[in-house]
């Protein structure tokens, strides 16, 4: 079991982390090599570099992580520089070099693959810069801390969502035919999501309740390619499918576009993840059966609190925040972690996501969805 040491859930869904910057002190802070830019609007403190992995794999990175990290880091009095590598590992390295040269105290990285993450961490640490793996763990890397969700549990929620969806939409169909459209093979999270899903689905396949048509990882989580791949599998199976595991809302959207073409949308449960506005709308419409709500504000806050402690060189405070642990299966080491909890969102739970302030009702309750929103009390 790869992630048996996904150990500690540090906070509950949608709530502030039960953590404080206790014990923080600035005794070992040291001075910043090139701290010339003290922009008052940005907190004016130590520089922290953030590199996000892509824009095309999910609406989350630019839509949620970027603004939430910016806000959280500034609230800690830090000066963030947040960039996106657009899925380009070369660009990732170049951005990291620029930040290292600019004198960041801490680097927060969510990488397109572990190799570039490991290389960047090594380089940064050689300059005395602390590194936090954000959302995605870099296998074989050396980052100091990891902040994410319990990603195997996220996969389990997707598996449970599919089971619920098949009960609702394909009751009595045996075996129910399932297609799995998975995340990038280069993203450790995709492996964890898959492992979690299989905890729920494997017994169903083995019992003959469900039949796996095909399981296909999608390089770079490329949503468009996900749609093309799904259509090939669907037509190869005589246009028959009863349920679809789509590893995130972006892939789910691509799957739904194909299902529409064959008149199957709304009849086939499709899973998702990220509670993006588009994903939530598809859930309200009944085209997508579920999504997973990962409160990215809590993830951003946890990363910012860790960064604040590390910018002061206060590893004791950082350790007090990162009480969990995740096993790097390649590097064979335990990485100190903050792991947050996610929540399964079906149509009746979309309100939870709005009430948590994650998305606004005005973002999703438009056009054809106003009636559904009223009915569900979403405002
Ligand atoms: C993240 C997901 C996201 C996916 C594609 C994963 O590592 O955990 O939230 O949907 O990458 O960007």
Domain count, the chain: 2
Shared domain check, 178 and 88: no
Q: Is the domain of 103 the same as that of 221?
A: no
- Examine the pLDDT at 33 and tell me if it is beyond 60: no
- Indicate the average pLDDT of the chain: 91
Assign 3-class secondary structure to 107-167. EEECCCCHHHHHHHHHHHHHCCCEEEEECCCCCCCCCCEEEEECHHHHHHHHHHHHHHHHH
- pLDDT of 27 > 70? The answer is no
Tell which atom from ligand 1 comes closest to the C-alpha of 249.
10
How many Cβ atoms from other residues are within 10 Å of residue 22's Cβ? Answer: 10
Residue among 273, 303, 326 whose CB has most ligand 1 atoms within 8 A, to mutate: 273
Question: CB-side exposure of 282: number of CA atoms within 13 Å?
Answer: 33
Residues 178 and 260 in one domain: yes
pLDDT band at residue 44 under the 50/70/90 scheme: low
Residue given tokens 């009595």 in the structure block: 172
Any domain includes 17: no
Average pLDDT score over residue span 176-182:
98
Both 333 and 369 in a single domain? Answer: no
Q: Indicate if 83 and 142 belong to the same structural domain.
A: yes
Q: Is residue 167 located within the same domain as residue 286? A: yes
Residue that is written with structure tokens 């910018």 in the block: 311
* pLDDT over threshold 60, residue 14: no
Q: What is the pLDDT of residue 18?
A: 33
**Ligand 1 atom nearest residue 248's Cα:** 10
Interval 95-102 mean pLDDT: 98
pLDDT, tens digit, for every residue of 105-141?
999 999 999 999 999 999 999 999 999 999 999 999 9
**Which of 6, 189, 303 has most ligand 1 atoms within 8 Å of CB, for mutation?**
189
Kindly tell me if the per-residue pLDDT of 248 is higher than 70.
yes
> Please, what is the Cα angle at 134 between 128 and 140, to 5 degrees?
70
Q: Is 312 in the pocket of ligand 1 (CB under 6 A)?
A: no
Whole-number Å distance between alpha carbons of 67 and 50? 12
Statement to judge: residues 168 and 313 lie in one domain: no
Query: What is the rounded CA–CA span in Å between residue 162 and residue 170?
Result: 11
Task: Report if residue 78 sits inside a domain.
Answer: yes
As given in the structure block, the two tokens for residue 10 are 């540090």
Note whether 49 and 139 are same-domain residues: yes
Q: Is the residue at 11 inside a domain? A: no
Q: Is 136 in the pocket of ligand 1 (CB under 6 A)?
A: yes
CA-to-CA separations, 23 to 180, 220, 337, 338, in angstroms, rounded = 47, 40, 18, 18
**The pair of three-digit structure tokens given for residue 188, joined into one six-digit string:** 């450790």
Residue 201 has pLDDT above 70, yes or no: yes
CA dihedral 70, 74, 76, 80 (to 10 degrees): 60
What mean pLDDT is predicted for residues 209-231?
98
Instruction: Average the pLDDT over 2-11 and give the result.
Output: 38
What are the b/e assignments for 255-285, b being 16+ CB within 10 Å?
A: bbbbbeeeebbbebbbbbbbbbbbbbbbbbe
- pLDDT, tens digit (0-9, with 9 covering 90-100), for 362-371: 999 999 999 9
Going by C-alpha positions, the residue among 152, 155, 154, 106 that lies closest to residue 131 is 106
Q: Is the pLDDT of residue 7 over 90?
A: no
Strand, helix or coil at 39? coil
Q: Does ligand 1 come within 6 angstroms of the Cβ of 223?
A: no
**Which range marks the domain in which residue 165 is found?**
151-294+344-376
Q: Which residues, listed in sequence order, are joined to residue 343 by a DSSP beta bridge?
A: 293
Residue 13 inside a domain? The answer is no
Are residues 49 and 62 both part of a single domain? yes
Q: Is 243 within a domain?
A: yes
The response to whether residue 221 sits with its C-beta less than 6 Å from ligand 1 reads yes
Q: Is residue 20 situated within a structural domain? A: no
* Distance from C-alpha of 209 to C-alpha of 174, rounded to nearest angstrom: 5
Instruction: Encode 82-112: b = buried (16+ Cβ within 10 Å), e = exposed.
Output: bbbbebebebbbebbeebbebbbbbbbbbbb
Residues 285 and 350 in one domain: yes
Give the CATH number, domain containing residue 259. 3.40.50.2300
3-state DSSP helix/strand/coil % of the chain, to nearest 5: 45, 15, 40
For residue 78, is the peptide bond before it cis, meaning its omega torsion is within 30 degrees of 0? no
Q: What percent of the chain has pLDDT over 70?
A: 88
Q: How far apart are CA 324 and CA 261, in angstroms?
A: 45
297 close to 68: Cβ distance less than 8 angstroms: yes
Ligand 1 centroid, distance to 196 Cα (angstroms): 15
| Cβ neighbours of 303 (radius 10 Å) | 31
* 99 and 169 share one domain: no
Task: Report percent pLDDT > 90 for the chain.
Answer: 88
Q: Is residue 16 part of a domain?
A: no
Lowest model confidence (mean pLDDT) among 20-24, 135-139, 234-238, 282-286? 20-24
The mean per-residue pLDDT over the stretch 16-20 comes to 34
In this structure, the answer to whether residues 118 and 38 fall within a common structural domain is yes
Q: The tokens of 33 are what?
A: 């090599």
The answer to whether position 55 is within a domain reads yes
């Amino acid at each position: 079991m790869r992630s048996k040491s996904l150990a500690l859930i540090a906070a509950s869904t949608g709530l502030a982390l039960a953590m404080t910057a206790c014990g923080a002190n600035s005794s070992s802070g040291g001075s910043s090599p090139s701290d010339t830019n003290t922009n008052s609007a940005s907190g004016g403190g130590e520089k922290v570099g953030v590199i996000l992995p892509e824009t095309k794999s999910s609406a989350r990175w630019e839509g949620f992580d970027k603004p939430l990290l910016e806000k959280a880091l500034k609230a800690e009095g830090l000066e963030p520089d947040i960039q996106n590598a657009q899925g380009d590992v070369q660009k990732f390295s170049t951005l990291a070099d620029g930040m290292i040269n600019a004198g960041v105290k801490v680097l927060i990285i969510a990488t397109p693959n572990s190799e570039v993450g490991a290389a960047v961490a090594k380089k940064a640490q050689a300059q005395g810069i602390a590194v936090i793996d954000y959302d995605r763990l870099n296998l074989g890397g050396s980052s100091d801390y990891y902040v994410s969700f319990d990603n195997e549990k996220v996969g389990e929620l997707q598996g449970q969502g599919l089971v619920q969806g098949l009960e609702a939409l394909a009751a009595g169909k045996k075996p129910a035919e399932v297609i799995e459209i998975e995340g990038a093979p280069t993203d450790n999270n995709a492996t964890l999501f898959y492992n979690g899903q299989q905890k729920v689905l494997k017994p169903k396949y083995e019992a003959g309740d469900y039949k796996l048509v095909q399981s296909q990882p999608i390089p770079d989580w490329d949503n468009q390619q996900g749609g093309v791949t799904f259509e090939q599998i669907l037509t190869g199976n005589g246009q028959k499918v009863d349920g679809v595991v789509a590893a995130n809302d972006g892939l789910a959207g691509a799957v739904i576009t194909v299902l529409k073409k064959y008149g199957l949308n709304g009849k086939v449960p499709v899973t998702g993840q990220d509670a993006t506005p588009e994903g939530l709308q598809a859930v309200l419409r009944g085209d997508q059966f579920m999504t997973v709500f990962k409160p990215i504000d809590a993830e951003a806050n946890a990363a910012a609190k860790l960064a604040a402690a590390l910018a002061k060189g206060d590893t004791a405070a950082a350790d007090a925040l990162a009480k969990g642990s995740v096993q790097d299966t390649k590097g064979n080491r335990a990485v100190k972690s903050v792991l947050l909890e996610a929540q399964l969102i079906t149509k009746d739970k979309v309100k939870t996501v709005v009430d948590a302030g994650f998305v606004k009702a005005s973002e999703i309750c438009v056009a054809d969805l106003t009636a559904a929103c009223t009915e569900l009390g979403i405002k």
